[in-house]
């Protein structure tokens, strides 16, 4: 829901910063993988309940996720780069609640499992439509510079980041936040299924 505004806000600074790795010969895919490896560091930090440290890794991962796209726009957007980016993004999204589950399984396990289950809904509806839209050459009217069709919803990347920040700042309320955000994810999934189905049927 908020991604279009967040992207407009950060695009200019990321474009300026992306000139540095581009001149150094660093590829967008290398930045994608490096950002993911940084994100992986959040898992042990969460397990040992170093939540502010985990938050630092999470924020760094998201910065690199934006930076790789800016570099790709300089070097040329590729299918393999888009595939790598979205795959590692979804793995990272599931890693964060999994870390909270491992940190405190007695109170976080069910809520964490529900949230990961919800991510399956948002992820599968997002990717399934992108595949079909690609076959029919349907382009997104909003996210024209994405490597695949980006179908929006109530919970997008920006909202997910806010959720993760709240997890780290209020870890004692993880379960409540996870239940609430997971429920919003299912609203997103339902609207994506409906919008995707009707769009493809009309096409």
Q: What is the pLDDT of residues 61-118, one digit of tens each?
A: 999 999 999 999 999 888 899 899 999 999 999 999 999 999 999 999 999 999 999 9
pLDDT at 177 over 70: yes
5 vs 33, residue with greater confidence: 33
Nearest one of 28, 12, 25, 9 to 67, comparing CA atoms: 28
pLDDT at 138 over 60: yes
φ/ψ (deg, to 5) at 138 = -90, 125
What pLDDT digit, counting tens, does each position of 25-73 carry?
A: 999 999 999 999 999 999 999 999 999 999 999 999 999 999 999 999 9
> Do residues 22 and 74 make contact, with C-beta atoms less than 8 angstroms apart?
yes
pLDDT at 203 over 80: no
The whole model's pTM is what? 0.88
> Do residues 26 and 71 make contact, with C-beta atoms less than 8 angstroms apart?
yes
Residue 136: which residues within 8 A CB-CB, separation 6 or more? 200, 203
Domains in the chain, please, with CATH?
A: 3-202 (1.20.120.1760)
**Burial (CB count within 10 angstroms: exposed 0-12, middle 13-18, buried 19+), residue 8:** exposed
The residues annotated with a catalytic role in the active site are 89
Alpha-carbon distance of 157 to 123, in angstroms, equals 11
Handedness of CA 138, 143, 145, 149 (dihedral sign): negative
């Amino acid at each position: 829901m908020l991604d279009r505004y967040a992207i407009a806000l950060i695009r200019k600074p990321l474009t300026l910063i992306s000139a540095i790795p581009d001149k150094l010969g660093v590829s967008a895919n290398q930045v994608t993988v490096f950002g993911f490896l940084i994100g992986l560091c959040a898992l042990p930090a969460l397990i040992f309940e170093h939540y502010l440290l985990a938050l630092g890794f999470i924020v760094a991962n998201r910065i690199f996720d934006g930076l790789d796209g800016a570099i790709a726009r300089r070097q040329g957007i590729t299918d393999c780069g888009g595939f790598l980016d979205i795959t590692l993004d979804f793995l990272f999204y599931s890693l964060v609640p999994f870390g909270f589950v491992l940190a405190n399984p007695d109170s976080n396990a069910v809520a964490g499992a529900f949230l990961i289950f919800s991510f399956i809904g948002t992820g599968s509806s997002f990717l399934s439509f992108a595949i079909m839209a690609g076959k029919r050459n349907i382009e997104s009217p909003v996210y024209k510079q994405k490597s695949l069709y980006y179908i929006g919803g109530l919970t997008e990347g920006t909202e997910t980041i806010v959720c993760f920040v709240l997890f780290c700042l209020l870890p004692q309320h993880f379960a409540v936040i996870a239940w609430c955000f997971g429920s919003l994810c299912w609203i997103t999934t339902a609207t994506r299924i409906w919008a995707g189905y009707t769009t493809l049927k009309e096409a």
